């Protein structure tokens, strides 16, 4: 069952949690009479879905999503919001998470600690080309461009909203950073000296295969938070106490 797609996993988790919550509420209802039966069901289902997600070892962002799902629906129904607001909210989320269901890569944003650690691994005396796979709002690229004026910086992002925000930021700042709205899987990574990714565990195996097949000898592959199987990193920078706050680099 662990090989099921995460979307199907989540559907099974939600349905199982709802069934168990219904049984629990029916048995324990007198002890929680200060809550309405509907809220008893929603809160019990939320807790059980979160526990099931943790037990299935889903990615870290899934347990809170499971916990919030049914209570959020209940709150929304009680709010009696006009129908157009639901459509607007859906379209807004779609613009920011355009391909998350297919790529299993949510919108992750790196911070200044990571940018500084990346900068320590880049050449200071020679030109180089750098690409950020899933560039979000372009933060790392704008920061590195200021530090390395001799570099060429490129970002690729599928989600329309982050890509557009990046383009507008580049225009306002007079930046030379190029932003493409393309799937990195369709790119040739041999065109770049440094490849940086902050994706997800689900995306790393395929990306690592692509990097090994395409990147030139001597080029640098950098990943924030997520390592790869089969080869230990050549460099590791610790950005915080938790394992996910690490920067990994491999010399190809």
Q: Give tens-digit pLDDT for 181-220.
A: 998 999 999 999 999 998 878 788 999 999 999 999 999 9
Please tell me what DSSP assigns to residue 216. P
- Cα separations (Å) of 64 from 71, 106, 226? 12, 14, 20
pLDDT band at 121 (very low <50, low <70, confident <90, very high): very high
Say what the pLDDT of residue 91 is.
72
First to last CA, the chain: 35
Write the CB contacts of 93 (distance below 8 Å, at least 6 apart in sequence): none
Q: For 73, phi and psi rounded to 5 degrees?
A: -65, -45
Crossing angle between the packed helical segments 37-55 and 6-28, to the nearest 10 degrees: 140
Give the max Cα distance, the chain.
Answer: 73
d(CA 171, CA 16): 49
For the record, the structure tokens of 141 come out as: 């690229």
Given pLDDT bands bounded at 50, 70 and 90, which one contains residue 36? confident
Read off the pLDDT of residues 50-99 as tens digits, 9 standing for 90 and up: 999 899 887 677 788 889 889 988 888 777 777 777 677 777 666 666 66
Look at residue 167 in the predicted model and tell me its pLDDT: 94
Q: Which run of H or of E encompasses 155? A: strand 152-156
pLDDT band at 2 (very low <50, low <70, confident <90, very high): very low
Residue 80 tokens read as 């009696």
133 CB-near residues (< 8 Å, 6+ apart)? 156, 184, 195, 196, 197, 199, 207
Q: Please determine, for residue 161, whether its predicted confidence score (pLDDT) is greater than 60.
A: yes
pTM across the whole model: 0.69
3-state class of 9 per DSSP? helix
Q: Does residue 213 contact residue 190 with C-beta atoms inside 8 Å?
A: no
């Amino acid at each position: 069952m662990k090989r099921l797609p995460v979307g199907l996993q989540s559907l099974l988790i939600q349905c199982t949690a709802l069934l168990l919550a219904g049984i629990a509420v029916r048995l324990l209802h007198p002890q929680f009479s200060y809550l309405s039966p509907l809220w008893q069901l929603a809160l019990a289902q939320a807790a059980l879905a979160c526990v099931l997600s943790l037990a299935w070892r889903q990615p870290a962002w899934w347990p809170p999503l499971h916990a919030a799902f049914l209570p959020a629906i209940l709150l929304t129904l009680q709010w009696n919001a006009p129908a157009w607001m639901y459509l607007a909210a859906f379209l807004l989320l779609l613009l920011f998470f355009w391909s998350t269901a297919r790529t299993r890569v949510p919108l992750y944003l790196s911070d200044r600690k990571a940018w500084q650690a990346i900068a320590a691994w880049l050449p200071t005396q020679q030109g180089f080309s750098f690409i950020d796979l899933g560039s979000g709002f372009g933060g790392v690229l704008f920061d590195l461009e200021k530090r390395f004026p001799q570099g060429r910086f490129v970002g690729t992002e599928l989600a329309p909203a982050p890509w557009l925000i990046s383009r507008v930021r580049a225009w306002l700042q007079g930046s030379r950073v190029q932003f493409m709205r393309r799937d990195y899987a369709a790119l040739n990574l041999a065109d770049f000296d440094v490849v940086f990714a902050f994706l997800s565990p689900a995306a790393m195996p395929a990306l690592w295969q692509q990097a090994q097949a395409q990147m030139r000898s001597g080029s640098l592959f950098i990943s924030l938070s997520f390592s790869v199987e089969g080869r230990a990193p050549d460099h590791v920078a610790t950005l915080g106490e938790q394992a996910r706050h690490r920067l990994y680099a491999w010399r190809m």
